Amino acid sequence: MLKKNILLGITGGIAAYKAAIIVRLLIKLGCNVKVVLSEKAKHFITPLTLATLSKNPILVDFFDPENGSWNSHVDLGLWADAYIIAPATANSLSKMALGVADNLLLTTYLSARCPVFFAPTMDLDMYKHPATQKNINTLIERGNICIEAQSGELASGLEGKGRMAEPDTIVRKITDFFEAKLDFLNKNVLITAGPTYEHIDPVRFIGNYSSGKMGFAIAQEFANRGANVTLVSGPVNISTINNNINRIDVTSANEMYEQAEKHFHNANIAVFAAAVADYMPVIQADEKIKKSSENFTLQLKKTPDIAKLLGEIKRNDQINVGFALETNDEVVNAKEKLIKKNFDFVVLNSLKDEGAGFNHDTNKITIISNNAKPIMYPLKSKQQVAVDIVNNIFKKITSIQNGQK
């Protein structure tokens, strides 16, 4: 049973009819539910339906026109353990992002001290529009939790992303949030992610196909479990969506090393998920290199091996986890890295496995450590792989605390 005070804000979109099911599911979980409707939402769902289901009067205006009693947005914001705005239309999202306070639902949003969840719903082109995406990202950066719209058939008859998440998905997000394990609370975690780009000249670089998805998923999982995460990321196309993540963007291996080294001393755990270029050009030209001779030789020198250098100064109270991206002799190579870089364990992913490694949304890993048999996992989403990795780190910490090696 969840047993929380939940405030549900319903704005004027067709998906408002599904809000009745959200109320019902929350009541079943033992929650007290109060509902705030925008004026337009009343066209899509009746206050009577919601009042009957929630067993509370429905709030629309700042005051009750019948008897003049005041609906205090401040009290509502303080009463709620969570404020869920579902559906959240493009119009309301833009007002939330800007801080417009022209109805009770929005003033309550501005007053709420509790976690705020919002479930966008709109037509696919409105959803994709840079203005809407910017508003959604602003709210996420502010710490509000977005329950992403789904793809499917829309009220307009078009197909695409913009359907409000189903009521059971929305309610599961809320329960997951309150039931989340905070087993890494007060732990400092350093993560490297993404590729590095090594400058050849102003228009060219040496890089690789890493998207950052694996490292970011690990950062997200640690942050969900209460850790303070420093994420040192190479050039990637992902936004970070958690207040517990301090993201530092870098470009080259040298810059990644500089930032990782700076934050390593304070870290309890370091995870090296980045695909760092092993070599960089000896000369990095300031001007574009012109095409002249038939052959062109680029002289390279080694970049700092971040994981190895930090492995050398690792304290006994720190845990270092590395990755090994292999194409052959996977286990042998991974074991070599385990020892050479002083890792507590290595996450092996092989480019031979379909759906594993660079850029995929999935990965297939084997965990290799010194004193245990390799643990092989099936192909999973990178989010689920992150859960497995973080669970293994938790086990490692527990075994160290219990005096095992």
- Binding string, residues 352-391; x marks residues near ligand PMT by CB under 6 A: -----xxx--------------------------------
Q: Which residues make Cβ contacts (< 8 Å) with residue 32, sequence separation at least 6?
A: 4, 5, 6, 56
The yes-or-no answer on residue 208 being catalytic is yes
338 forms part of the interface with ligand PMT (CB under 6 A): no
How many Å apart are CA 335 and CA 368, to the nearest integer? 7
**One residue of 73, 163, 337, 364 binding ligand PMT per CB under 6 A:** 337
Complex with ligand PMT: residue 4 or 337, whichever CB lies closer: 337
Q: State the minimum distance, in angstroms, from the CB of residue 355 to ligand PMT.
A: 12
Complex with ligand PMT: residue 192 or 268, whichever CB lies closer: 192
Q: Binding to ligand PMT (CB under 6 A): which residues in 295-334? A: 303, 305-307, 322-325
End-to-end CA distance of the chain: 39
255 forms part of the interface with ligand PMT (CB under 6 A): no
Q: Binding to ligand PMT (CB under 6 A): which residues in 173-212? A: 192, 194, 210-212
279 forms part of the interface with ligand PMT (CB under 6 A): no
How many Å apart are CA 103 and CA 110, to the nearest integer? 11
Q: State the minimum distance, in angstroms, from the CB of residue 207 to ligand PMT.
A: 12
Q: State the minimum distance, in angstroms, from the CB of residue 303 to ligand PMT.
A: 5
**One residue of 4, 73, 163, 213 binding ligand PMT per CB under 6 A:** 213
How many Å apart are CA 254 and CA 305, to the nearest integer? 9
Q: Which residues make Cβ contacts (< 8 Å) with residue 309, sequence separation at least 6?
A: 257, 261
Q: What is the DSSP letter of 312?
A: H
Q: How many residues bind ligand PMT (CB under 6 A)?
A: 29
Complex with ligand PMT: residue 167 or 194, whichever CB lies closer: 194
Q: State the minimum distance, in angstroms, from the CB of residue 150 to ligand PMT.
A: 24
Q: Which of 208, 246, 254, 342 is catalytic?
A: 208
How many Å apart are CA 118 and CA 144, to the nearest integer? 7
Alpha helices in 239-303 (DSSP H): 253-264
Q: Which tokens hold the place of 318?
A: 């720190």
Complex with ligand PMT: residue 258 or 278, whichever CB lies closer: 278
Instruction: Judge contact between 362 and 380, C-beta under 8 A.
Output: yes
The candidate with the shortest Cα–Cα distance to 164, out of 124, 112, 133, is 124
Complex with ligand PMT: residue 113 or 302, whichever CB lies closer: 302
How many Å apart are CA 52 and CA 65, to the nearest integer? 21
Burial of residue 251, with CB atoms counted within 10 A of its CB: 0-12 exposed, 13-18 middle, 19 or more buried: middle
Q: State the minimum distance, in angstroms, from the CB of residue 284 to ligand PMT.
A: 17
The candidate with the shortest Cα–Cα distance to 321, out of 397, 240, 224, is 397
Complex with ligand PMT: residue 9 or 194, whichever CB lies closer: 194
How many Å apart are CA 72 and CA 108, to the nearest integer? 8
249 forms part of the interface with ligand PMT (CB under 6 A): no
Nearest 5°: phi and psi at 115?
Answer: -60, 140
Any idea which residues carry the catalytic annotation? Answer: 208
Query: Which residues of this chain interact with ligand PMT, rule CB under 6 A?
Result: 192, 194, 210-215, 253, 272-276, 278, 303, 305-307, 322-325, 337, 341, 349, 357-359
